[in-house]
């Protein structure tokens, strides 16, 4: 039987319209040593808005409000599984970032420095579409 999964990513942006990116540790179960956005897989039966807030809190320690979906991507992965990823945007107001065990670094980056970083095609799409719709 084919598997279908739903994942979610968050673009957390500040007053200067810089976005928060995370670096995955070498021990991370998926995509080790890659740049990422806060987010993860939606649990079976979980409300999507509850899930993205849970993931942001788990991965950054931040409590975000006013989440708004702005993009959706879907693909069949190398294992033949169908994945749908919902992208949200959140305005960062305040709070200290406390990274989870999956991440070892974070950085706020601006639109004009995007070419300095290597992102997966999906993350690049979400970042570019975020800045187009800002």
Tens of each residue's pLDDT in the chain, 134 residues:
688 999 999 999 999 999 999 999 998 888 889 999 999 999 999 999 999 999 999 999 998 877 789 999 999 998 899 999 999 999 988 889 999 999 999 999 999 999 999 999 999 999 999 999 87
Domains of the chain: 4-133 (3.90.79.10)
Distance (Å, whole) CA 90 – CA 21: 13
Distance (Å, whole) CA 91 – CA 88: 10
Note the pLDDT of residue 26.
93
Note the pLDDT of residue 50.
92
Length of the chain: 134
Note the pLDDT of residue 99.
96
Task: Record the pTM.
Answer: 0.91
Residues 6+ apart with CB under 8 A from 49: 67
Note the pLDDT of residue 1.
62
Contact present, 111 and 74 (Cβ < 8 Å): no
The beta strands (E) that lie in the chain are given as 4-13, 19-24, 35-36, 39-41, 68-76, 82-91, 103-109
Distance (Å, whole) CA 5 – CA 105: 27
Distance (Å, whole) CA 118 – CA 66: 28
Note the pLDDT of residue 86.
97
Distance (Å, whole) CA 60 – CA 22: 9
């Amino acid at each position: 039987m084919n598997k279908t999964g739903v994942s979610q990513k968050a673009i957390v942006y500040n007053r200067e319209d810089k976005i928060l990116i995370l670096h995955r540790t070498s021990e991370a179960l998926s995509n080790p040593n890659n740049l990422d956005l806060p987010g993860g897989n939606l649990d079976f039966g979980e409300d999507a808005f509850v899930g993205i807030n849970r993931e942001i809190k788990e991965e950054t320690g931040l409590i975000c409000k006013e989440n708004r979906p702005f993009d959706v991507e879907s693909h069949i992965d190398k294992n033949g599984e169908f994945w749908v990823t919902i992208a949200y945007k959140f305005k960062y107001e305040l709070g200290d970032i406390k990274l989870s065990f999956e991440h070892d670094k974070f950085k706020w980056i601006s639109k004009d420095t995007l070419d300095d970083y290597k992102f997966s095609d999906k993350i690049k799409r979400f970042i570019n579409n975020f800045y187009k719709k800002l």
